[in-house]
Structure 1
Amino acid sequence: MSCIYKIREGTASYTATEKKLAQYVLEHINEVTLISAQVLGERVGVSASAIIRFAKKLGYNGFTAMKVDLAKDDNVDVVNFDDMIQEQDSMEMVVKKAQNLNTMLQNQAYRLINSESLEKAVSALLNCSTIYLFGISGSGIVCMDLMQKLSRINRTAVYHSDFHDQLAAAAHMTKQSVAIAVSYSGKTHEVNAAMRLAKEMGATTIAITQFKKSPLTKLADILLYIPSTERELRLGAIASRNASLIITDLLYLGLAKNNIELTKQYLVKTKDMIDLLK
């Protein structure tokens, strides 16, 4: 996962000292990778121990590990997806902007992926009896897409477009179930209610959400992050939907690769069944 995005996305939870440190790091990336915690502390006006605590808050073992990750990054500005179009833009310009923004979004989404968390999620899905999917609106489209993919490879997945039906189905979750919630904000009341129910029933909980603390992140056993590129008032859930689809596609591919030969057999079988309608 990109160190730069970790630093940026955690801003809301930082103390005053951490915000000061984060700003300096982001403005002097090349410099920070070459100096010690002691020297950085002197330049920022904080203690070396505060720097080490900050690195650990980001998930690193220490400042050295953080510097190694930071050195791999290039500082690409995060552009707000909802700012991409203007009223005076021609359709040709809209196409170009959408292409550029989607390319940027894809890069950000892949940089945020934590391979270890993804492995844990795939392992949980491989060993469960039933997969329950929770999401509404644009996130519901992501759930529907994943359910369709899973059904083609003989994985039992449950999703309903009506949330009352989603919650009714959730009543049958057990310790052998996995619950996947898709929510950009992590604050969707209905989705969080379903995830609380999943926790109570002992199901493994997986959340696909932005890299910020939220009610949903507290309910998830496994967190799979997507970039924060949309505002509270959104032009449309374009960026979050596309980023979430990247994550669910990776979960699908992780399951499919477990037994490629069997996966091919399932895909051929479902294709042949559909061909009967032609």
Structure 2
Amino acid sequence: MSTLKTFLQNTTLLRKGRSYDLGKMNLTQLWAAYLTYPTILLYFALILLTAYLSLKDISNIWLSLIPIPVVVVIYPLAWYLIHKYLLHGRLFYRNPLTASLWKRVHFDHHQDPHLLEVLFGSPFNTVPTMAVITMPVGALIGGWSGAWSALSTALVMTCIYEFFHCIQHLAYKPRWNWVVYIKQLHVLHHFHDEDGNYGITNYLPDRLFKTFYREAKERPKSPYVFNLGYTIEEAKRYPWVMKKTGSPPRDKPDPARAPKKDELSKRA
């Protein structure tokens, strides 16, 4: 009862405009923010809708179910490739047509990794991407029912992915060793070398493509970990992201937000 009361109190505070700053939130506050956040609520609604559409068009139960494990396998690989080659690539900020998209989708998150508002991608970008990745595969297996089943699976995985992504930036020490482990790996990605540990909950693609590292001592610290290569010099040549931000790119975090050295080197 007291837990529910605390949850409702935190939800009220968040609705009144309290900052979604993961660096200042506890686990209960995260649940309150996560379960009432518009993007997540939209994903929940779309999960129900796509599951209904899959059942509505079903002709063969197995052809509708097979896309689920297939998506579970291919989805992390697809997001790895997107994360590494598009979100961490430099082509988008060098084009005035895509600079704002790159800023919103990933640059802002690396500039302030604890800000919940930019941790979640815009549904206008994420949902079409999920559909393009998964629905053709599902359709090949099970027609429209398989396509909707595949998209529904991607939406469920995204909700799980986003929750653990929040945990990785939360001022909270997880009790589950596996969560401690993935949190450490993600902290390394944000504060030591961004050219590695691209996964959030699944690091198999990192291992396959040799971008996985366990501790900071395994590689030198990257000068671009906080700005993704969008330096002051780059901003002068390609000013569109800087104009949108209203200030020059930062190359290091607020000292109060930076993890301690032992958080970058300890083992789970």
Q: Is the TM value for this pair above 0.5?
A: no
Q: Relative contact order (alpha carbons < 8 A, sep ≥ 6): 1 or 2 greater?
A: 2
Point out the structure with the larger helix share: 2
Point out the structure with the larger strand share: 1
Query: Whose Rg is larger?
Result: 1
TM-score, structure 1 normalization:
0.26
TM-score, structure 2 normalization:
0.27
